[in-house]
Structure 1
Amino acid sequence: MDNKAEFDSLVPAQGFDRRSFLVTSLGAGFALATMPVAAQTAIRTDATGLLAGEVRVPVGDGEMVAYRAAPEGVAKAPVVLLISEIFGVHEYIRDTARRLAKLGYFVVAPELFARQGDPRKIDSVAEIIEKISSKTPDAEVMKDLDASVAWAAKQGADTTRLAITGFCWGGRITWLYSAHNPGVKAGVAWYGRLVSPVNSYNPRHPIDLVGELKAPVLGLYGGVDTGIPVETVDAMEAALKKGSPAAQASQMHLYDNAPHAFHADYRPSYHKEEAEDGWQRMLAWFRKNGV
């Protein structure tokens, strides 16, 4: 059984039986669980010269809301799928999309929690995890990302030059999608969990998929991340050397003094030097792999 079919067969039935979307609009601002730090420290990127805003992406059971940012008037721009943390597509993710669009990318940031609930309106991280992110099936996410790529192609973007990047929860998804879709050219995973107990929603994790990676992934991790021990980063690095050709072309980069979420400029965890270095490494990785 190929990887895509395996994901499809393992998705809980409720993931696709639910016909309604609980998130139908992205609104504005930062997720409640990240306040009040966000309002005072975040980087702000304007939309001048961009086609930026909320869009609807057709998926198997309806329409999923997403944020699109792309250079205005540019045909066949390369595509970047931008995957959020557990907080959903709030202002940090939208701003990151605009930053990438200013560099010439057609960016789609889908609200992958749309069926489970709106994490931006919950002020408790524990509640977001319990009720939303932990109940979002990997197989459902893979299908939604496939739909996002198909939508981008219909908008005139060049999906033959396709990259994916994501933060925290989205970092893990970056690894998974790079094993799922043979059309991906490059992935950059920012501090995404590599190992974890399995369940019906998350039947496999990045370290389990090194033999099936279809695109090289650059992993950016923090040496003092209390949620992702360095030994798991080391284990992933060792596993990649024995994986698929794309896995063997992947790289892990560890910032010794960086915590989790070191790129999140709206949170106390932000480390400017490491965040900026990681950003440049990401762009170089995209270019190296034809995106």
Structure 2
Amino acid sequence: MTKQTLTADDGHKFAAYRADPAGTARGTLVVLQEIFGVNAHIRRVCDGFAADGYIAIAPALFDRAERDVELGYDQAGFAKGRELVGAVGLDGAARDIGATIASCTGRIGVVGYCWGGGLAWLAAARFPNVHAAVGYYGRLIATNLLGEMPRAATILHYGEHDPHIPMSDVDKVRSAHPEMSIFTYDAGHGFNCEDRADFNPKAASLARARTLDFFRDKIG
């Protein structure tokens, strides 16, 4: 597990957390953060994918506004995270995601959570060298990004009791992309994160199994 520095096409330098597998990598996964930064949860996600045979890289997308951000899952953390999302913007995040993808080797997948769930969709639409994308509870997909058409194979995971993403928004995505696998779970927002009140082990385990099956099919 290492910390590396990457450079975007506008010269911005940003940190990334990288976890490598013990043997030959199946491919590379770009792991896109929630609004809480590249915190302990996101690092554990990277470590987990490395244990499954992938190089996993999580770019610190908040570095454009503030460096070394690791926020807690409380109201203060949520408010600060929303502020930083606005400061970075979609285009700023996309520049850094593009630079991360450009640094990758082998076949490339993207997986994101919360804010990163929408950004994974954006990456699948904007970067042709992405082979597969997975979005977990990405609110921005229905509200801001339906005009961005993924070119890579994409699957999505949502909680059926998510107060931030009504099922009507999920239905919008389904209607726009009937060919896409969109999974819903008896869970709330953030169900994959062990540090959140909405953590749901059953839903997290099933979603992760589906994600790994998908990446093994599309990435290796």
Normalising by structure 1, we get a TM-score of: 0.70
1:220 maps to 157
In structure 2, C-alpha distance between the alignment counterparts of 1:121 and 1:87, rounded to whole Å = 5
2:51 maps to 102
Structure 1 counterpart SS, 2:122: helix
Q: Contact conserved, 1:57 with 1:147, CA < 8 A, in 2? A: yes
One-letter identity of the residue aligned with 1:183:
N
Q: Contact conserved, 1:83 with 1:170, CA < 8 A, in 2? A: yes
Structure 2 counterpart SS, 1:182: coil
Question: Are 2:142 and 1:195 aligned?
Answer: yes
In structure 2, C-alpha distance between the alignment counterparts of 1:141 and 1:90, rounded to whole Å = 17
The structure 2 residue matched to 1:68, chosen from 18, 29, 33, is 18
2:177 maps to 240
In structure 2, C-alpha distance between the alignment counterparts of 1:282 and 1:130, rounded to whole Å = 27
1:128 maps to 80
2:30 maps to 81
Structure 2 counterpart SS, 1:54: strand
In structure 1, C-alpha distance between the alignment counterparts of 2:162 and 2:64, rounded to whole Å = 30
The total of aligned residue pairs comes to: 215
Shift of 1:222: 0.5
Question: Are 2:199 and 1:262 aligned?
Answer: no
5 Å-filtered alignment, 1:87-166, equals 87-118=36-67, 119-120=69-70, 124-152=76-104, 157-158=105-106, 161-166=107-112
Question: Are 2:182 and 1:252 aligned?
Answer: yes
Q: Contact conserved, 1:68 with 1:106, CA < 8 A, in 2? A: yes
Shift of 1:121: 5.3
Give the % identical residues: 28
Shift of 1:240: 0.6
For 1:22-76, what per-residue CA distance to the aligned partner results, in whole angstroms no more than 9, with x for missing partners?
xxxxxxxxxxxxxxxxxxxxxxxxxxxxxx12111122324210100012453x6
In structure 1, C-alpha distance between the alignment counterparts of 2:168 and 2:189, rounded to whole Å = 15
More deviation in 134-143 or 180-189? 134-143
Q: 1:147 to 1:223 in 2, by over 3 A?
A: same
Normalising by structure 2, we get a TM-score of: 0.91
More deviation in 122-131 or 95-104? 122-131
Shift of 1:234: 0.8
More deviation in 135-144 or 181-190? 135-144
In structure 2, C-alpha distance between the alignment counterparts of 1:235 and 1:127, rounded to whole Å = 27
Structure 1 counterpart SS, 2:62: coil
Unpaired stretches in structure 2, ≥5 consecutive residues: none
Structure 1 counterpart SS, 2:208: helix
One-letter identity of the residue aligned with 2:89:
P
Deviating above 3 A after TM superposition, structure 1's stretches of 4 or more consecutive aligned residues are none
In structure 2, C-alpha distance between the alignment counterparts of 1:80 and 1:187, rounded to whole Å = 9
Unpaired stretches in structure 1, ≥5 consecutive residues: 1-51, 197-204, 242-247
Q: Contact conserved, 1:58 with 1:151, CA < 8 A, in 2? A: no
Q: Contact conserved, 1:57 with 1:63, CA < 8 A, in 2? A: yes
More deviation in 275-284 or 56-65? 56-65
Shift of 1:235: 1.1
Question: Are 2:192 and 1:287 aligned?
Answer: no
In structure 2, C-alpha distance between the alignment counterparts of 1:171 and 1:141, rounded to whole Å = 13
Shift of 1:169: 0.4
One-letter identity of the residue aligned with 1:206:
L
Q: Contact conserved, 2:121 with 2:133, CA < 8 A, in 1? A: yes
In structure 2, C-alpha distance between the alignment counterparts of 1:131 and 1:275, rounded to whole Å = 28
Shift of 1:290: 3.4
